Structure 1
Amino acid sequence: MLVRYVLGKEYDKVMSGMSVDNKRIAKNTLYLYMRMLITLVIGLFTARVTINALGIHDYGLMNVVGGVMGFLAYFSSLLSQGTSRFLTVGLGKGDMKQLRNIFSACGTIHIVLALVTLILGETIGLWFVNYKLVIDPDRMFAANYIYQLTLFSSFLGITQTPYIASITSHEKMSTFAFMSILDVVFKLTIVVMLLYIDTDKLIMYSTFYFCTNLFMFFLYRIYCLRKFEECNMHLRWDPKLYKEIWNYVGWNSVGTFAFMANNQGITILLNMFFSTVVNAARGIATTVSSQVSGFVMNFQVAAGPQIYKLYAKGEYQQMNRLVCNTAKYSSYLLILIGLPVFIKTEILIRLWLGNIPEYVIPFIRITLIELFFKAIDFPIGNGIHAFGKMKLPNITSSIAYISVLPLTYIFLRLGASPVIAYIIACVSYPLAMACDLWILNKFSGFDIKFYLLHVPLKSILIILLSAILPVFVSNSFEDGWLNLILTSAVCAIVSAVLVFYIGLDAEMREKVLRKVKNKLAFVFNKNT
């Protein structure tokens, strides 16, 4: 009910007269949260069993090899947001003929990029795995085997992107949620099977994982072909459309490359200077971060198509309000979920994994700070992507992201701890956010001062105040389930109260209270 209220009523208040379908946003968000809760439980359990089944060294090996493929397969995300942007704008304009042309053009480009990825993977990537990564000689065959399967999975994933973008553009979040749940259930089954297999578990895990990806590939394809008319690809040469998409892709590739270089480059540097054990710690931190970010991204995914449609209708003022509100409520959701994890990281990891690998705790805490800036910057990026002018934003973000790699290398070369690499990487995100704010202001007149006062500064104030009492409670009891439950409960209550009184304005608080009173009155009258 809170999610529906936040997504619906606030939009009604600040966007009166808009044609945004608030019920659809709320409904889609609820579908995505249902997906997230199920995948969260299964995902955390799967990660623990995977680590135990493979062992810390093979788990680290899987992450570092996957890191190389992630670096090469950044093409997979080049058009992910771009395809969604073009399709959603096409839907907003209601031109089905143009929508078919957009899908076919995007699909063709994805096939080309998939082939480029395959070529790079079988040349530069293969050389890097065999001659530059620190891998035990007796595990080189396993490393090459999982690399090949990862490479072909990336090929499938790139060609799959237009179909997934069609589902989100049509706001069929129930289907998206079902597909995601089915995917994690299959992967849980794979992990359970590992417990009863005596052969090389890493090779078998990679084989079953690839088979799951192949099955999901065909499932997405069949659904989209049956449900969406524009998904029937056809060859048609439209120079103007291809030029527009390629210009978007060309400049967007620069920023995406820099982001992937930042993310995967840190993984590779850690492997070069340390070992696969450190990569395993990074993999665990990434798993925790991805689960926490799911609470925020579901909200942003549901609101994203509406940002593009508002742009298509020329309603820039309403679009800016939606961007600001999405960022604000994303930060509040992250506080409610991420702050208890930040405070009780050690006990959570101990209860989850049974032991705590070196560097895991600082890695997770720094990643959560990084996630905060990514969460409040993502809606700004959606606003920028709506305009499709990608040259300026990608140049600025690339400088922010790529500059940390040589700096990280220098520090590690001088003997710095792996934690330093995380801290340096984290600095790039607020820098990128500052650049995005300036650009959105340039494109649409976005109010930077209002945003800074009502999103990052207000959220940081809530975080600092929310942490005082939970930290006191945490230090007052011996570590264990009671400490975890009490601290988490106090943290949730204090954060919710501060979000209510500091994060919401007076009119919004009054509406929330009235809504709660009406619900309580309804329940009371029904029971009596």
Structure 2
Amino acid sequence: MSDTSANNKRIAKNTFLLYIRMLFLMLINLYTSRVILQILGVEDYGIYNAVGGIVLILSFLNSALSNGSSRFITYELGKKNTSELNNVFCTILNAHIILAIIVVIIAESIGLWFIKTKLGLPDDRFDAALFAFHFSVLTSVASITQVPYTATIIAHEKMQIYAYASIIEVVLKLLILYLLPVLGQDRLQTYAILLFCIQIMIMSIYRIYCIRKFNETKFKFIFNKKKFKEVAAFSSWSLLGNAAHALTGQGTNILLQMFFGPQLVAARAISLQINMAANQFVSNFKLAADPQIVKYYAAGDTDKSKELTLNTAKFSFFLMLLLCIPIYIVAEPLLKLWLVSVPPYTLIFLQLIVIQSLFSVLDTCFYTGLYACGRVKENALISPLILSLQFPAIYIAFKVGCSPIFLSYAGIFVTIILALIIKPLLLIKLAGYTYRDMKDIFVPCIKTAITAFIPSLLIAHYLSGNYWQYALLLILVIIIIILSILYIGIEKRQRQELFKLIKRKLLHK
């Protein structure tokens, strides 16, 4: 069996394991979100997302360093440089411990000042919000110090433990639903404590597994300055990007809290929850392919690295299309069935964010091509600048009285610029891609999206009213999307290979 065939089978196996995880996680997360909203109430749910957003903004340093951590651990594995792995791991872990201390200091000083003076929390929930904030900081510390272990698991492509730990995590979150009504008088405070406990449990599972399975994760007081400078230099180019993402993501929640109150924060958080479930569906495929993209490049096989990057972008878009159009079409009955009582603006927030996700998936997939070859400097200078313009624009728009929906339109506009212009040009200029490569991605993706979306909207115009009609609508829309992908999105050769594979599997059974 060739190395390429073996690698493809490994990607398929890991993708399958991650999809099993995803389906389980998605169902439980959607259910728990609905019940948590009912137990906490819209106000407390919005408050938790607002104060937690401040901690997440401060964790942008962790996101930047985690990108470098994952890349360097995977790169050393690709080079089969086992002697350096332990030095790299220990250096990265020590760096994350230092980072966690920095986050605590900033959060408990500047972050605390902002909550007390600027956030505009209800007076009767102020003490509970501060309590939740402190535990959000502790939860963030556990997440930050966990990054090197998670990066090692992904680099080794041991997705089964990643899947199992995630399933355990959502089961524990499910238990919260039964503990909240009986533990403590203030449910917001109890919720913050229980989430922290879950994070500690999951962190322990990952660490025990890594220490037992991977020799390089045996902790030593090693801080290789040279290696740290390499990781920091690489990560520094992600720093601005992660800061911009944190500002436009969690920062907009804070602006919603300041200008419109916790109910709008809750509405956006709910829409993001559904969108996150859809994104997990696609990111599983990308997560399984990314290590191979880096390893191909590290081994000097740039053609295979480029081919896998392009295929990942194309099929990730199709997978997202298969979810985004149905969610957009049946968003209203979906929310009513899921939440019963739907907060204002939740519907339009959800519909617009799934549109943004279609372009966002191309943006993130193209970044992997730059990430694999280490050419992230230019992207780190351009993309964050464009992203960060959202925050002042949204602030000014809210200040002059614009609708909260403005933030969604701003997000779609910026994502289109990044996905269809900035990232493709950077790949062409820096990573050896061609305009033909980009055309081969964009043309079938755009044709497929238009062919699937317009008929779906027309059918939705006539089929709506009761849940039976919506169920029929959903089935028809999915069929339209699948046919569009098969006969417009993918090449004839790929379609024939797919049909042969399906036929072979059916006959085998």
TM-score by length of 1: 0.93
Residue deviations 1:217-240 (CA, integer Å, cap 9, x gap): 222111111111111122345333
- Does 1:27 pair with 2:30? no
Q: Secondary structure at 2:185's aligned position in 1?
A: coil
Quote the Cα distance in structure 2 between the aligned partners of 1:157 and 1:415.
38
Give CA-to-partner distance per residue, 1:299-334, whole Å, 9 cap, x none: 000001001101101222221111110000001111
Is structure 2 residue 206 aligned with structure 1 residue 229? no
Q: Distance in 1 between matches of 2:298 and 2:396?
A: 46
Q: What letter is aligned with 1:517?
A: K
**8 A Cα contact 1:56 1:277, kept in partner:** yes
Unaligned runs of 5+ in 2: none
Choose the corresponding residue for 2:391, options 397, 401, 405: 405
Equivalent residue, structure 2, for 1:438: 425
> Aligned match of 2:289 in 287, 290, 303?
303
Is 1:69 paired with 2:55?
A: yes
Give per-residue Cα distances to partners, 1:361-408, cap 9 Å, x unaligned. 111111112211121121211121122343211111111110111111
Structure 2 residue 56 is matched with structure 1 residue 80:
no
Q: Is the contact made by 1:331 and 1:455 (CA closer than 8 Å) also made in structure 2?
A: no
Task: Sort the Cα spacing of 1:474 and 1:432 in 2 relative to 1 into closer, same or farther, 3 A.
Answer: closer
- Give the secondary structure class of the aligned counterpart of 1:408: helix
Instruction: Work out whether residues 268 and 346 of structure 2, in 8 Å CA contact, stay in contact via their aligned partners in 1.
Output: yes
**Is the aligned partner of 1:125 residue 2:111?**
yes
Separation in 2 of the partners of 1:472 and 1:36?
Answer: 31
Query: Which residue in the other structure is 2:31 paired with?
Result: 45
Please give the secondary structure, in 1, of the residue aligned with 2:405.
helix
Name the SS for the 1:326 alignment partner: helix
Unaligned stretches of 5+ residues in structure 1: 1-11, 524-528
Q: Could you give the per-residue CA deviations for residues 258-313 of structure 1, whole angstroms, max 9, x where no partner exists?
A: 11111112111111111110000110011011001011000000001001101101
1:214 matched to 2:200: yes
Alignment partner, residue 166 of structure 2: 180
Single out whichever of 439-448 and 312-321 deviates more from structure 2. Answer: 439-448
**Mapped contact 2:69–2:92 kept (Cα < 8 A):** yes
SS in 2 for 1:21: helix
Q: Which amino acid aligns with 1:352?
A: W
Tell me the distance in 2 between the aligned counterparts of 1:276 and 1:288: 19
The percentage of counterpart residues that share the same residue type is 34
Aligned amino acid, residue 297 of structure 2: Y
> Cα–Cα, structure 1 residues 237 and 478, in superposed 2: closer, same or farther, change >3 Å?
closer
Q: What is the alpha-carbon distance in structure 1 between the residues aligned to residue 246 and residue 289 of structure 2? A: 25
Aligned-residue CA RMSD (Å): 1.7
- Corresponding residue to 1:418 among 404, 417, 424: 404
Distance in 1 (CA, whole Å) between partners of 2:126 and 2:71 is 41
Deviations 1:190-242 (A, max 9, x none): 12222445711111111111111111122211111111111112234533312
- Residue 151 of structure 1 aligns with which residue? 137
Distance 1:117 1:448, change over 3 A: farther
Amino acid at match of 2:254: I
Which of 239, 242, 246 aligns to 2:228? It is 242
- Structure 2 residue aligned with 1:3: none
For the pair 1:113 / 2:99, whether they are aligned, the reply is: yes
> What is the distance in 2 between the residues matched to 1:431 and 1:474?
30
8 Å CA contact 2:463, 2:470 repeated in 1: no
Q: Secondary structure at the match of 1:455?
A: helix
What CA distance in whole angstroms lies between the structure 2 residues aligned with 1:228 and 1:17?
A: 23
Runs of 4+ aligned residues of structure 1 deviating over 4 Å after TM superposition are 16-20
- Output aligned runs, 1:249-328, within 5 Å: 249-328=235-314
Q: Check whether the contact 1:396–1:432 (CA below 8 A) recurs between aligned residues.
A: no
Give the 3-state SS of the residue equivalent to 2:121 in structure 1.
coil
Deviations 1:393-449 (A, max 9, x none): 111111111011111111111110000111112222222232222222223211234
1:448 aligns with 2:435: yes
Q: Given residue 439 of structure 1, which amino acid in structure 2 is its aligned partner?
A: L
Question: Which one-letter code corresponds to 1:314 in the other structure?
Answer: G
Q: Mapping of 1:439-518 within 5 angstroms?
A: 439-451=426-438, 453-518=439-504
Q: Give the AA of the match of 1:81.
A: N
1:351-370 alignment runs, 5 A limit: 351-370=337-356
Contact preservation (8 Å) 1:412, 1:421: no
Secondary structure of the structure 2 residue equivalent to 1:111: helix
**2 CA distance for matches of 1:81 and 1:47?**
29
Shift of 1:116: 0.9
Deviation at 1:123, TM superposition (A): 0.7
Aligned equivalents of 2:34, 2:202: Cα separation in 1: 24
